[in-house]
Structure 1
Amino acid sequence: MGRNKIPRVICGKPADSCFKPNGIPMNQLAQLDLAADEFEALRLVDLQGMHQQDAAVAMGVSRQTLANLVKSARFKVADCLVNGKALMMCP
């Protein structure tokens, strides 16, 4: 049995719940879910330019956990951009 997930501090919210390629109906697109903690990690590190250690403290997680969240979020965003998938933001 694994450990319980540490609660994470999430301050930012996405402007929209979905980003998708123009001109393609949603039912024809593959979808990827971006979790709230992945969104927050991406927002803090890439948009606000925080160092990973500072962003980890702000979210209440370890630096390694934050690095894993950023890596996962970046992969999902890149996959959607390159392969024309819809990116769904989870609240």
Structure 2
Amino acid sequence: MPRRRKNRNCRILDGDRNFKPSGIPRSELNKIILDLDEFEALRLCDYDGLNQIEAGEALGVSRGTVQRLLLSGRKKIVEAILDSNELIIKGNH
């Protein structure tokens, strides 16, 4: 049985944020879900300029977890852009 997921300190994002290529109906697009913790790790490291240790402290997780979140989040964003998919950032519900 896997370990229970540790709570993460993420900003509140009301509702989902959707980004899609122009000119293609949403019904024809594949959806890629970017979890809020992946988005928050990207924001802290890439936008705010924190290193992974500082981001881990802000999120309440280890540096290794931040690294994993960054890798998966970046991969999803690049995949959405290259393959013309809809990117959905899941908000707090």
Which category describes the TM-score, using the shorter chain as reference length?
Answer: over 0.9
Taking only aligned residues, the RMSD between alpha carbons, in angstroms, comes to 1.6
* Aligned equivalents of 2:5, 2:50: Cα separation in 1: 23
Match of 1:83 in 2: 83
* Aligned equivalents of 1:12, 1:83: Cα separation in 2: 29
* Aligned equivalents of 2:84, 2:77: Cα separation in 1: 10
1:13-68 per-residue CA deviation (whole Å, 9 max, x = no partner) reads 38x61000001100000110000100100110111111010000000000000100
Give % identity.
Answer: 39
Counterparts of 1:6-85 in structure 2, within 5 Å, are 6-11=6-11, 13=13, 17-85=17-85
Which amino acid counterpart does residue 34 of structure 2 have in structure 1?
Answer: L
Give the TM-score normalised by the residue count of structure 1: 0.94
Which runs of 4 or more aligned residues in structure 1 lie more than 6 Å from their structure 2 counterparts after TM superposition? none
- Report the Cα offset of residue 70 of structure 1: 0.5
- Report the Cα offset of residue 12 of structure 1: 5.7
Which amino acid counterpart does residue 57 of structure 2 have in structure 1?
Answer: V
* Aligned equivalents of 1:17, 1:64: Cα separation in 2: 27
Give the TM-score normalised by the residue count of structure 2: 0.92
* Aligned equivalents of 2:28, 2:82: Cα separation in 1: 16
Aligned length: 91
Structure 2 residues not aligned, in runs of 5+: none
